[in-house]
Structure formats: C-alpha cells, structure tokens
Amino acid sequence: MSSRIHPTAVVDRTAELAADVEVGPAAVVGPGVRIGEGTRVGAGAQLEGPTVLGPGNRVFPHACIGFEPQDLKFSGEETRLEVGARNTFREFCTVHRGTGKGGALTTIGDDNLFMVYTHVAHDCHVGNRTIFSNGGTLAGHVRVEDDAVIGAYSAVHQFCRVGRHAYIGGYSKIVQDPLPYAKSVGDKACFYGMNRIGLERKGMDAATLERIERALRIVVRGPRKLEEALQQVRTELGGHPEVDYLVDFVEGSERGVIRNLPLRRGRGQGD
C-alpha cells in the first residue's frame, strides 16, 4: 500500500516514506527524514532530519521531532536522531538531534510513550518501554534505561543516568542518578524504596523482588561508605543478574546516586 499524504501536508522530495505511512493535514516532513512503514504523522506535526523513525510509530498533532538542539555550542554540524519502533509521541512533544561534541546522535528505542509536552534533549539515549508523563524533561546527554518511568513535570539534569525500572515521581528535580528498581521523588530527590508495583507488573517473581529489596536496603541504609555497601551486596547477594546490574550501575555513576532518605519525624535527612 502506498503512503497516504494529506493534500495540505508538506513532504520534502528527499524524505523517504515507507509503505502505509500516513501524513496528516498541515504536517511537515523535512529533508533527510526516513519514516518506517505503518507510522502515522498527525496534523501539524513537524519532522526534520537527518532523522530515522522505524516502523509503527505514532506522532500526534503538533509534536516536533528531529529539530536541531538547543545548545549554544551547536554550529550547524550534521547530527542525527534515530528512533526505533512502535513509539508514541503525544501532542507538543519535542525530541532534538545530537551535537557534534556530544556524539552527534540522539537515540530512542522501542515501545516508549512520550506524553504531552515531554522533551528529550540533544545526545540523550532512551531505552525501551519507558514512560514519560506529561511535561517530563531530559536535559542533554541523559541516558534512560529500559522500563523507567519519568513522572509528570520532572526534570533530569544533564549527564544523569536513570536506571532500569526506576520510577521518578512527579515534580521531581533529578541531579544525581536514580537507582535502578527504586522510587526517587522530590524537589531534592530522595530514595522512597523499591518500585515494587512496577516490578510486579513486569512479572518479576517474589524471590527476585526480595533479593533486589535487600540489595537496595544495603546500598541506601548500610555502611556510610558506598564502597563498603557495594562489597556487602556482592558478598551476600552477588551472582544474580539484577543485583549485579545494580552494583555495576552504582559503580559506574559519575554524578553519584540518589541515597538520601526523606525527612521524617524525629530523624534528619540521610547522607
């Protein structure tokens, strides 16, 4: 089946549209854009290149995908955006290409949901099956790993990493790396325990949940020196893929991980 392009849409002659692509009224598909089969581009949406969208994506009205980055160091060099399959970009979502000094590439995996007014900045790398709630924002050079959730109107500082299955609560300010499998919430983001509901929904068994919870408890509430806490996790719980990933994630953090505990009656904030 050939592409279905509304008469009022503008599609550059260098753009490549696969079979069954739909382009709605007043949408703009610019030069250097490649769109995989079955993708739908809504009314008034705009795509700029070099950008590649895989099959089965849905771009809702007035989303802007693949525009140049909001970085003063960007000087017009060729950079790219690569998007996988079956992603949903809701109204007024923005996703920007990379910068020459940041790797020249922004990437998004498969099966992600970007709700209204979300933003993915230059040189970010988003994994698979993530959810960005309304207004969730990534600064440049952020990595979001598989199955993470970015809460509504939360902002993630540049060069942070968001671990697998991490849950960031709404209106949070993230300036360090949120731990995998954990909830991080607040203007001064704190650790709020394991993301049990999210992990159960992903089908993790009870034994795995218990092991992850014990590992997180040691990392956050164990020895004050992080190196000692990680060694305890290795000794007591190592050899399990989820636990080993947690240890590797913490060891690889450049900005530090969120270990602060929320303020509670009779107790100050943690380290």
Whether 239 is covered by a domain: the verdict is no
Q: What is the pLDDT of residues 262-271, one digit of tens each?
A: 986 444 444 3
Instruction: Evaluate if residue 67 carries a pLDDT over 60.
Output: yes
Determine whether 122 is an active site residue. yes
**Active-site residue (options: 140, 151, 169, 222):** 140
Query: Model confidence at 6, in pLDDT bands (50, 70, 90)?
Result: very high
Whether 26 is covered by a domain: the verdict is yes
**Active-site residue (options: 71, 123, 147, 177):** 123
* pLDDT at residue 2, as a whole number: 63
- d(CA 259, CA 105) in angstroms, rounded, equals 31
Count of domains observed in the chain:
1
| 43-88-114 Cα angle (round to 5) | 105
Q: What is the pLDDT of residues 212-265, one digit of tens each?
A: 999 999 999 998 899 999 999 999 999 999 999 999 999 999 999 999 999 864
Whether 66 is covered by a domain: the verdict is yes
What is residue 108's three-state secondary structure? strand
Of the candidates 143, 146, 190, which has an alpha carbon nearest to the alpha carbon of residue 168?
190
Token representation of residue 199 = 């992990």
Whether 126 is covered by a domain: the verdict is yes
- d(CA 224, CA 260) in angstroms, rounded, equals 11
Determine whether 12 is an active site residue. no
Whether 20 is covered by a domain: the verdict is yes
> For residue 126, what are the domain limits?
4-141
What residues are paired with 59 via a beta bridge? 41, 89
Residue 50: asked if its preceding bond is cis (omega within 30°), the reply is yes
Whether 65 is covered by a domain: the verdict is yes
Whether 213 is covered by a domain: the verdict is no
* pLDDT at residue 147, as a whole number: 98
Token representation of residue 224 = 């004050």
**Active-site residue (options: 62, 96, 119, 122):** 122
Q: What is the pLDDT of residues 115-138, one digit of tens each?
A: 999 999 999 999 999 999 999 999
Q: What is the pLDDT of residues 142-173, one digit of tens each?
A: 999 999 999 999 999 999 999 999 999 999 99
What is residue 144's three-state secondary structure? strand
Whether 167 is covered by a domain: the verdict is no
Q: What is the pLDDT of residues 77-123, one digit of tens each?
A: 999 999 999 999 999 999 999 999 999 999 999 999 999 999 999 99
- d(CA 44, CA 67) in angstroms, rounded, equals 15
CATH number at residue 33: 2.160.10.10
Token representation of residue 137 = 């924002």
Determine whether 266 is an active site residue. no
What is the maximum span of the chain, computed from C-alpha positions, in angstroms? 67
- Contact (CB, 8 A) for 120 and 96: yes
* pLDDT at residue 267, as a whole number: 43
- d(CA 185, CA 95) in angstroms, rounded, equals 24
